[in-house]
Amino acid sequence: MVFRKLLAMAAVVVAVAAGPVKAGMLFVSDERDNTVTVLDAATLKIVKVIPVGRRPRGIVITPDFREVLVCAGDDNRIDVIDTQSLKVTRSLSSGADPETLGLSPSGKTVYIANEDDSMVTMLDRVSGKLLGRVPVGIEPEGVAINSDESIAVVVSESTSMAHFFDPRTLKVTANVLVDARPRIAVFTPDEKHVWVAAEVGGTVEVINSASKEVERKISFSPPEVRKEFIQPEGIRFAKNGSVAFVALGRANHVAVVDMKTFEAKDYIPVGHRVWQLGLSPDGVTLYAVNGLTNDVSIIDVASMKVRQSITVGRLPWGIAIAP
């Protein structure tokens, strides 16, 4: 009995020493409020609203889930949020107008799309040291990096291209013409392809990572939606690899795309002007960030139905998830 009590006391001491363990959290960038809204992933209650720089958009979380990085476009910087204290602890000088950003799989390198400079800026995440800059097309936005950091991709809105470059040499290796105003680039889980969402073109194009050729073009036709409102944005792949989810912008739907046929097999109605998507670590819940209704739609992946909507700040844009 005494031994069991000693074990219990030791467990308490270890728990206290380790510090409080936070439940899963959602970090949503609120472009008009200059804030990041933090939601408890279990209760969907607002935990905190964190002030950040002006016009926050792109947002990512580090692989160790200790920091969230958010682009403050009008302040030419990246604000870094500590996920334990939920405070901005430092800022990185990003170059002009950082629109979106990506992280190397190791979490060591930050890739920043500088919209006004037609550049991708690469920084050491810890020190903020400039590692290099890569000239690309006009108004770069979405950034994707493969797992061994041998290929990076950025799309340029006004040039309508996906630019492949080598992060080690800082050289562009291919320029792939895509549909008008591409906004997002995402590697498939096997990294054999890059999906590019073209907002004005209304399509998603599937590019072969090796040959740099467009192999597929995915079109969308949500019910009772005018064609010009179909504006693909964020992309997420289901954990089981069977479908992809595509935010359709002003069409106010999320498309469900069959990964074998490359056809949209379902459409999920969400809030107005759905920008970006997030997927829970277990793959059970999809989060759709709706810019014009100032909310996040909580979607049950099994049923493909919206479970509820949660109000956040004004003009929400991006989402990062801590398990």
CATH of the domain at 292: 2.130.10.10
Tally the domains of the chain. Answer: 1
Neighbours of 19 (CB within 10 A): 8
pLDDT in tens, 202-249: 999 999 999 999 999 999 999 999 999 999 999 999 999 999 999 999
Q: How confident is the model at residue 5 (pLDDT cuts 50, 70, 90)?
A: very low
In a domain, 44, yes or no: yes
The phi-psi region of residue 191 (left if phi > 0; otherwise alpha if psi is between -120 and 50; otherwise beta) is left
In a domain, 237, yes or no: yes
In a domain, 239, yes or no: yes
Contact between 316 and 28 under an 8 Å Cβ cutoff? The reply is yes
In a domain, 303, yes or no: yes
Residue 16: the pLDDT is 33
In a domain, 193, yes or no: no
In a domain, 285, yes or no: yes
In a domain, 317, yes or no: yes
- 316 has pLDDT over 80: yes
The CA distances from residue 292 to 25, 132, 181, 283, 315, in Å, are: 23, 36, 20, 26, 6
- CA 120 to CA 98: how far, in whole Å? 9
Residue 23: the pLDDT is 62
Residue 310: the pLDDT is 98
Contact between 269 and 247 under an 8 Å Cβ cutoff? The reply is no
- 9 has pLDDT over 90: no
In a domain, 274, yes or no: yes
* 3-class state of residue 310 by DSSP: strand
pLDDT in tens, 12-69: 333 333 333 356 999 999 999 999 999 999 999 999 999 999 999 999 999 999 999 9
Range name among 12-26, 118-132, 271-285 with the lowest pLDDT average: 12-26
Q: Print the domain residue range for 279.
A: 22-51+230-323
- CA 254 to CA 197: how far, in whole Å? 13
Backbone phi and psi for residue 235, each to the nearest 5 degrees, phi listed first = -135, 135
